[in-house]
Amino acid sequence: MEATHKAVLFATLAGICWGLGEVATKQVMASGTIGPFSVLLVRVAGALLPTMIVYAIAMYVMKSEPAQWWTMPTPIMLKLLLGTTLMAGFAGVLFFYLGLKFGEISVVKPIAFVLAPSIAVLVGWLFLKESMNWQRGIGVVMGLASVILIATSHKSHGPAHSPAPAPAPAPAQQSPQ
């Protein structure tokens, strides 16, 4: 399989997992039994063992991971720790969960997951010298336009997890005798 096809396949699988997984996250937080900080803790702790298993397989069985990655140059290590770990892995996820606490997933998820790739395309083009063409440019503009439409289209009915009150039951009518 070509590298581009693999990239699209794995990105699609990631989108499916995030889309379904975060609906469950929203339902769990809407139950009122757990907050965003606790959800983040469970997410990180719960992912540790499967991550270590997959890492061991990649490292020792498939031999697809660099053996001495921890000796990388300091600037690269700082990008790993600050960008990957703190910004994407911690702050991004935490802000996303805080958004889910206060808003509908149908608003929060599209904003977060359209804004992120739009920023990545622009930063990749401006700083990493990745290619930019009219299709990508239009995609970014359309993505940002969709964020504006989604962000301004929500209905204001109080907290997202509070359903509207049920109408009062109609008074019972007595039959004539």
Amino acid at 40: L
In the predicted model, is pLDDT for residue 72 greater than 90? yes
pTM, full prediction: 0.78
Residue 1 pLDDT level (bands cut at 50, 70, 90): confident
Token pair of 110, please? 């599209």
Residue 154 pLDDT level (bands cut at 50, 70, 90): low
Over residues 107-135, the mean pLDDT reads 93
* pLDDT tens digits, one per residue of 21-62: 999 999 999 999 999 999 999 999 999 999 999 999 999 999
For the chain, the farthest-separated pair of C-alpha atoms sits apart, in whole angstroms, at 93
pLDDT at 153: 84
pLDDT at 19: 87
Q: Which residues of 25-54 are buried (b: 16+ CB within 10 A; e: fewer)?
A: bbeebbeeeeebeebbeeeeeeeeeeeeee
Token pair of 81, please? 């720790």
pLDDT at 151: 87
